[in-house]
A and B are shown apart, each in its own frame.
Chain A
Amino acid sequence: MRNTTTSEVQLVGDETTLNIARAALFAALVGAFAYVSFPFPGTPVPVTLQVLGVFLAGILLGPVWGGAALVLYLAAGAIGAPVFSGGTAGVAILLGGEPTFGYLWSYPIAAALIGLVVHGGLEVRDPSAVGLPRLVGAMVAGTAVIYALGTVGFVFVTGVGVVEALLATVAPFVVPEILKMAAAVAVVRSDAIRAG
């Protein structure tokens, strides 16, 4: 009747399947956030919400699957999904093809770090029960990782000095980043958000 060698099929477990689905959807959302920009007070150019996606991936999915979500984001971009800033894609971009490549590599690390601090370990707990200092501290640490790698990447690709790089990659984004942290806190504290 059916010529299947079904005994060799290794099904992905139910819980892992759900985690993979969430990681993929979060990765797609971070990609979609690259196309959503808001005008920020004191910032000349509109700023996208990608970093907010990184914050919330770590906070809502925890260190393991939050980090995994951003790894999928990089993998999808590497094989051609237009998820990197400006709708770019391709493995060459991850290898320094574009000035923003340091940011890209920082995302999974930042999401995992934020998840680790917020959840106090690898186990995922209810993020709405986490205290404000820990939540903000986690995001500040994550942002530090993003800026550090982002600036190093910018210097490496463009050949400008560190001071110029900081002027280009950090200075304009301080205010937006603080507002995104405030927004992330509001999201986590909201009754309307579905917790994992």
Chain B
Amino acid sequence: MTLVYEPGSSFAHRLDPRPKLAVQVTFVAAAFVHTTPAGLVVLTGLTLGVLAAARTSVRRSLWEYRIVLPFVAAAPLLQGFTLGAPWFVIEEAVGPALAGYRVLLVLLVTAAYVRTTSVRESRAALQRLVPGRTGQFLGMGASFVFRFLPVLQADLGRIRDAHRSRLGTERPVRERIALLAIAGFNRAFDRADSLALALRARCFAWNPTLPELRYTRWDVPAYAFALGLAVAAVYPYL
């Protein structure tokens, strides 16, 4: 199971999606500028604060992202490694190791957003931030992706099961991939036909009423936090 939105009543749940997006963006910027031991200590504190505001568990989030973690660890090992004695140069590995830790913090901050923001809010924010037909295309298109991702995952699972029982696993990888892709893309084409029909029947329009977004006083501290991160990101260059 991957990390997905769960309804709740945490502080982060009550926030408008826009300041939450702002925090993510400014957090990455600040983290890039301050990828130093001292900077990362401060950022760790902030990350824990964000997760607490979202009532999201650090351990669970890391577990959900476990597939990514080896890649994060690989970079410093790769950089530190040298052909010949002393085989590993610690000074070489420090930069990538700090960067890897920064990646970890950013992933945790995104986890807090994903856990506390519904598709509806997210797409409403997207449609407000990107105006006109482009915004409508991105917002509605992205919400259809949310809707059909689990459907196609289930399709692919069923197709693989059927192939396993029918074809076994002796066939060459290339052939198994091609068969899966053919079945998968045919399902995607068929489901797109059904979706298009449903959209037309229900007057799919370029200018619908958007889901409501309303700022509350809780959004003030969230924006202030984002502003603080933005200042931290540009301060060293002033």
Contacts and interface: CB of A to CB of B under 8 A. Distances in A.
Contacts of B188: 22, 25-26, 28-29
B192 interface: yes
A195 to B, nearest CB: 9
A182 interface: yes
A174 B2 CA distance: 29
B25 A159 contact: no
Interface residues of B, number: 85
Interface stretch (A83-91, A108-116, A118-126): A83-91
A18 interface: yes
Majority secondary structure, B binding face:
helix
A79 to B, nearest CB: 4
A32 interface: yes
A137 B49 CA distance: 50
Contacts of A31: 145, 149, 152
A85 B31 CA distance: 22
A56 B2 CA distance: 26
Interface residues of A, number: 79
A158 B189 contact: no
B123 interface: yes
Contact of B126 (A73, A79, A92, A99): A79
Interface stretch (B38-46, B52-60, B62-70, B216-224): B62-70
A29 B184 contact: yes
Contact of A75 (B95, B126, B178): B126
Given A81-B149, A86-B65, A160-B96, A41 B173 contact: yes
Contacts of B206: 10-12
Nearest to A96: B28
Contacts of B125: 79
B36 to A, nearest CB: 12
A24 B65 contact: no
B145 A180 contact: no
Nearest to B195: A21
B128 interface: no
B152 A9 contact: no
Contacts of A29: 152, 184-185, 188
A87 B67 contact: yes
Contacts of A132: none
A147 interface: no
B189 A17 contact: no
Given A32-B156, A194-B189, A82 B175 contact: no
Contacts of A91: 21, 24-25, 110
Contact of B174 (A12, A93, A183): A183
Interface string A5-27: 00011111010011011111111
A176 to B, nearest CB: 9
Contacts of A72: 137-138, 141-142, 144-145
A23 B75 CA distance: 34
Contacts of A11: 203-206
24 contacts: A9-B203, A9-B207, A21-B195, A24-B192, A29-B152, A32-B149, A32-B156, A75-B138, A76-B149, A79-B125, A80-B122, A82-B2, A85-B67, A88-B110, A89-B110, A90-B24, A99-B103, A154-B75, A159-B99, A180-B177, A183-B178, A184-B178, A193-B186, A196-B189
Interface of A: 8-12, 14, 17-18, 20-29, 31-33, 35-36, 38-41, 49, 52, 56, 60, 68, 71-73, 75-76, 78-83, 85-93, 95-100, 154, 157-161, 164, 167-168, 179-180, 182-184, 186-187, 190, 192-194, 196
Given A11-B203, A87-B67, 4 more contacts: A28-B151, A75-B138, A79-B125, A82-B4
